[in-house]
Chains A and B, each alone.
Chain A
Amino acid sequence: AQSVTQLGSHVSVSEGALVLLRCNYSSSVPPYLFWYVQYPNQGLQLLLKYTTGATLVKGINGFEAEFKKSETSFHLTKPSAHMSDAAEYFCAVRRAQAGKSTFGDGTTLTVKP
Protein backbone atom coordinates (compact mmCIF):
# COMPACT_ATOMS: atom_id res chain seq x y z
CA ALA A 1 0.00 0.00 0.00
CA GLN A 2 1.11 3.55 -0.60
CA SER A 3 -0.11 6.91 0.61
CA VAL A 4 0.79 10.58 0.49
CA THR A 5 0.30 13.28 3.09
CA GLN A 6 0.66 16.92 2.17
CA LEU A 7 1.05 19.04 5.28
CA GLY A 8 -0.91 22.25 5.01
CA SER A 9 -3.80 22.56 2.59
CA HIS A 10 -3.06 26.27 2.18
CA VAL A 11 0.30 28.05 2.14
CA SER A 12 0.68 31.79 1.73
CA VAL A 13 3.98 33.54 1.00
CA SER A 14 5.04 36.99 -0.08
CA GLU A 15 6.47 37.55 -3.53
CA GLY A 16 10.20 36.91 -3.39
CA ALA A 17 10.00 34.71 -0.30
CA LEU A 18 10.96 31.06 -0.03
CA VAL A 19 8.34 28.53 -1.02
CA LEU A 20 8.23 25.28 0.94
CA LEU A 21 5.50 22.72 0.32
CA ARG A 22 5.67 19.57 2.41
CA CYS A 23 5.04 16.01 1.28
CA ASN A 24 5.47 12.79 3.23
CA TYR A 25 4.83 9.40 1.73
CA SER A 26 4.57 5.77 2.68
CA SER A 27 5.43 2.95 0.35
CA SER A 28 6.29 -0.70 0.84
CA VAL A 29 8.75 -0.60 -2.06
CA PRO A 30 11.19 2.03 -3.36
CA PRO A 31 8.97 4.80 -4.64
CA TYR A 32 8.88 7.06 -7.62
CA LEU A 33 7.84 10.53 -6.43
CA PHE A 34 6.25 13.38 -8.35
CA TRP A 35 5.15 16.97 -7.92
CA TYR A 36 2.43 18.37 -10.18
CA VAL A 37 1.00 21.87 -10.49
CA GLN A 38 -2.61 22.62 -11.38
CA TYR A 39 -3.80 26.05 -12.48
CA PRO A 40 -7.53 26.88 -12.33
CA ASN A 41 -9.61 25.00 -14.87
CA GLN A 42 -6.57 23.17 -16.21
CA GLY A 43 -5.16 19.68 -15.94
CA LEU A 44 -2.09 18.73 -13.94
CA GLN A 45 1.37 19.56 -15.23
CA LEU A 46 4.47 17.69 -14.08
CA LEU A 47 6.93 19.92 -12.20
CA LEU A 48 9.55 17.29 -11.37
CA LYS A 49 10.03 13.65 -10.51
CA TYR A 50 12.36 11.41 -8.57
CA THR A 51 12.99 7.91 -9.83
CA THR A 52 16.51 6.80 -8.91
CA GLY A 53 19.92 8.39 -8.52
CA ALA A 54 20.47 11.94 -7.32
CA THR A 55 18.15 12.76 -4.46
CA LEU A 56 17.96 16.49 -5.25
CA VAL A 57 15.75 16.90 -8.27
CA LYS A 58 15.37 20.11 -10.25
CA GLY A 59 12.21 20.86 -12.16
CA ILE A 60 10.60 23.53 -14.23
CA ASN A 61 9.98 27.13 -13.16
CA GLY A 62 12.82 27.09 -10.62
CA PHE A 63 11.33 24.41 -8.36
CA GLU A 64 13.32 21.61 -6.79
CA ALA A 65 12.65 18.78 -4.36
CA GLU A 66 14.81 16.51 -2.25
CA PHE A 67 14.08 12.84 -1.64
CA LYS A 68 14.90 11.95 1.96
CA LYS A 69 14.41 8.25 2.51
CA SER A 70 15.07 8.39 6.27
CA GLU A 71 12.34 10.99 6.68
CA THR A 72 10.05 9.56 3.95
CA SER A 73 9.75 13.07 2.62
CA PHE A 74 9.83 14.82 -0.73
CA HIS A 75 9.37 18.51 0.03
CA LEU A 76 9.09 21.04 -2.80
CA THR A 77 11.00 24.32 -2.63
CA LYS A 78 11.62 27.45 -4.64
CA PRO A 79 14.00 30.16 -3.41
CA SER A 80 11.92 33.12 -4.55
CA ALA A 81 8.16 33.06 -5.13
CA HIS A 82 6.62 34.73 -8.14
CA MET A 83 3.01 35.78 -8.54
CA SER A 84 2.64 33.26 -11.35
CA ASP A 85 3.42 30.43 -8.90
CA ALA A 86 -0.02 30.78 -7.32
CA ALA A 87 -1.72 27.45 -8.01
CA GLU A 88 -2.51 24.09 -6.45
CA TYR A 89 0.32 21.63 -6.02
CA PHE A 90 0.00 17.87 -5.75
CA CYS A 91 2.54 15.33 -4.54
CA ALA A 92 2.21 11.77 -5.84
CA VAL A 93 3.87 8.42 -5.21
CA ARG A 94 4.07 5.42 -7.49
CA ARG A 95 5.71 2.06 -7.16
CA ALA A 96 8.85 1.96 -9.23
CA GLN A 97 8.38 1.43 -12.97
CA ALA A 98 4.68 0.77 -13.18
CA GLY A 99 1.62 0.77 -11.03
CA LYS A 100 -0.87 3.45 -10.27
CA SER A 101 -0.02 6.81 -8.79
CA THR A 102 -1.48 7.87 -5.45
CA PHE A 103 -1.94 11.60 -5.04
CA GLY A 104 -2.03 13.78 -1.96
CA ASP A 105 -4.95 16.12 -1.40
CA GLY A 106 -3.04 19.14 -2.62
CA THR A 107 -1.68 22.40 -1.27
CA THR A 108 -2.98 25.72 -2.52
CA LEU A 109 -0.18 28.26 -2.80
CA THR A 110 -1.08 31.94 -2.55
CA VAL A 111 1.54 34.57 -3.39
CA LYS A 112 0.99 38.02 -1.91
CA PRO A 113 2.43 41.09 -3.63
Chain B
Amino acid sequence: EAGVAQSPRYKIIEKRQSVAFWCNPISGHATLYWYQQILGQGPKLLIQFQNNGVVDDSQLPKDRFSAERLKGVDSTLKIQPAKLEDSAVYLCASSLGGSDTQYFGPGTRLTVL
Protein backbone atom coordinates (compact mmCIF):
# COMPACT_ATOMS: atom_id res chain seq x y z
CA GLU B 1 0.00 0.00 0.00
CA ALA B 2 1.40 3.36 -1.01
CA GLY B 3 1.96 5.84 1.78
CA VAL B 4 1.28 9.55 1.97
CA ALA B 5 3.16 11.37 -0.78
CA GLN B 6 4.40 14.94 -0.52
CA SER B 7 6.25 17.22 -2.89
CA PRO B 8 8.56 18.93 -3.09
CA ARG B 9 10.78 17.46 -0.39
CA TYR B 10 12.84 20.62 -0.05
CA LYS B 11 12.18 24.24 -0.95
CA ILE B 12 14.24 27.38 -0.46
CA ILE B 13 12.66 30.77 -1.09
CA GLU B 14 13.21 34.38 -0.18
CA LYS B 15 10.91 36.19 2.22
CA ARG B 16 7.82 37.71 0.66
CA GLN B 17 7.80 35.04 -2.07
CA SER B 18 4.99 32.52 -2.35
CA VAL B 19 5.24 28.74 -2.15
CA ALA B 20 2.92 25.77 -2.50
CA PHE B 21 3.12 22.24 -1.17
CA TRP B 22 1.27 19.21 -2.45
CA CYS B 23 0.00 16.15 -0.63
CA ASN B 24 -1.53 12.92 -1.91
CA PRO B 25 -3.04 10.90 0.96
CA ILE B 26 -3.44 7.16 1.22
CA SER B 27 -6.21 5.97 -1.05
CA GLY B 28 -9.58 5.92 0.69
CA HIS B 29 -8.54 8.13 3.58
CA ALA B 30 -11.22 10.73 4.18
CA THR B 31 -9.32 12.83 6.70
CA LEU B 32 -6.27 14.88 5.78
CA TYR B 33 -4.10 16.99 8.05
CA TRP B 34 -1.40 19.61 7.51
CA TYR B 35 1.10 20.15 10.33
CA GLN B 36 3.91 22.65 10.79
CA GLN B 37 6.99 21.35 12.60
CA ILE B 38 9.48 24.03 13.59
CA LEU B 39 12.97 22.81 14.45
CA GLY B 40 13.09 21.59 18.03
CA GLN B 41 9.32 21.44 18.43
CA GLY B 42 6.57 18.95 17.92
CA PRO B 43 4.17 19.14 14.99
CA LYS B 44 1.42 21.75 15.26
CA LEU B 45 -1.85 21.20 13.42
CA LEU B 46 -2.56 23.86 10.82
CA ILE B 47 -5.68 22.47 9.20
CA GLN B 48 -7.77 19.29 9.15
CA PHE B 49 -10.04 18.27 6.27
CA GLN B 50 -12.81 15.70 6.29
CA ASN B 51 -13.25 14.88 2.60
CA ASN B 52 -13.23 18.36 1.05
CA GLY B 53 -14.61 20.21 4.07
CA VAL B 54 -12.57 21.96 6.75
CA VAL B 55 -12.93 20.49 10.25
CA ASP B 56 -10.40 22.64 12.11
CA ASP B 57 -8.30 25.55 10.88
CA SER B 58 -8.06 27.41 14.17
CA GLN B 59 -4.25 27.55 14.09
CA LEU B 60 -3.87 28.42 10.41
CA PRO B 61 -2.51 31.97 9.91
CA LYS B 62 -5.20 32.86 7.43
CA ASP B 63 -3.65 36.16 6.41
CA ARG B 64 -0.87 34.29 4.62
CA PHE B 65 -1.67 30.57 4.62
CA SER B 66 -4.36 28.85 2.59
CA ALA B 67 -5.19 25.22 1.92
CA GLU B 68 -7.63 23.39 -0.26
CA ARG B 69 -8.77 19.86 -0.96
CA LEU B 70 -11.12 20.41 -3.83
CA LYS B 71 -12.01 16.84 -4.81
CA GLY B 72 -11.56 15.30 -1.40
CA VAL B 73 -8.30 13.61 -2.37
CA ASP B 74 -5.14 15.65 -3.02
CA SER B 75 -4.46 18.82 -1.09
CA THR B 76 -2.31 21.89 -1.50
CA LEU B 77 -1.01 24.24 1.16
CA LYS B 78 0.08 27.72 0.10
CA ILE B 79 1.99 30.46 1.84
CA GLN B 80 1.84 33.96 0.39
CA PRO B 81 3.88 35.96 1.28
CA ALA B 82 6.38 33.88 3.23
CA LYS B 83 8.11 35.16 6.36
CA LEU B 84 11.36 34.03 7.94
CA GLU B 85 9.45 32.36 10.77
CA ASP B 86 7.69 30.08 8.28
CA SER B 87 10.90 28.06 7.97
CA ALA B 88 9.83 24.60 9.10
CA VAL B 89 8.94 21.12 7.93
CA TYR B 90 5.38 20.86 6.66
CA LEU B 91 3.92 17.43 7.29
CA CYS B 92 0.85 15.98 5.67
CA ALA B 93 -0.99 13.10 7.31
CA SER B 94 -4.11 11.14 6.48
CA SER B 95 -6.46 8.77 8.25
CA LEU B 96 -9.58 6.78 7.41
CA GLY B 97 -11.60 9.00 9.71
CA GLY B 98 -11.01 11.63 12.35
CA SER B 99 -10.62 9.10 15.14
CA ASP B 100 -8.32 6.69 13.31
CA THR B 101 -4.56 6.28 13.17
CA GLN B 102 -2.79 9.05 11.27
CA TYR B 103 -0.20 8.14 8.65
CA PHE B 104 2.40 10.79 7.96
CA GLY B 105 4.20 11.71 4.78
CA PRO B 106 7.94 12.49 4.71
CA GLY B 107 7.36 16.23 4.87
CA THR B 108 8.51 19.28 2.91
CA ARG B 109 11.40 21.21 4.44
CA LEU B 110 10.92 24.94 3.76
CA THR B 111 13.73 27.42 4.25
CA VAL B 112 12.86 31.11 4.00
CA LEU B 113 15.88 33.40 3.52
Least CB separation from A103: chain B residue? B42
Give CA–CA (A49, B107) in the complex, Å. Answer: 22
Per-position 1/0 for A3-43, Cβ under 8 A of B: 01000010000000000000000000000000010000111
Q: What's the minimum C-beta distance from A32 to chain B, rounded to whole angstroms?
A: 8
Interface members, chain B 18-71 (any A CB < 8 Å): 40-45, 48, 56
Name, among B4, B93, B104, the residue most crowded by chain A CB atoms within 10 Å (CB to CB).
Answer: B104
Per-position 1/0 for A79-93, Cβ under 8 A of B: 000000000001010
A97 on the interface (CB 8 Å rule)? yes
Least CB separation from B104: chain A residue? A43
Query: Does the CB pair A44–B101 fall under 8 Å?
Result: no
Q: What's the minimum C-beta distance from A74 to chain B, rounded to whole angstroms?
A: 14
Give CA–CA (A44, B109) in the complex, Å. Answer: 14
Residues of B within 8 A of A (CB): 4, 40-45, 48, 56, 91, 93, 98-99, 101-107, 109
Residues of A within 8 A of B (CB): 4, 9, 36, 41-46, 49, 90, 92, 97-101, 103-106
Chosen A-B contacts, 9 in total, with CB atoms closer than 8 Å, are: A36-B104, A41-B106, A43-B104, A44-B93, A45-B104, A97-B98, A98-B99, A103-B43, A105-B41
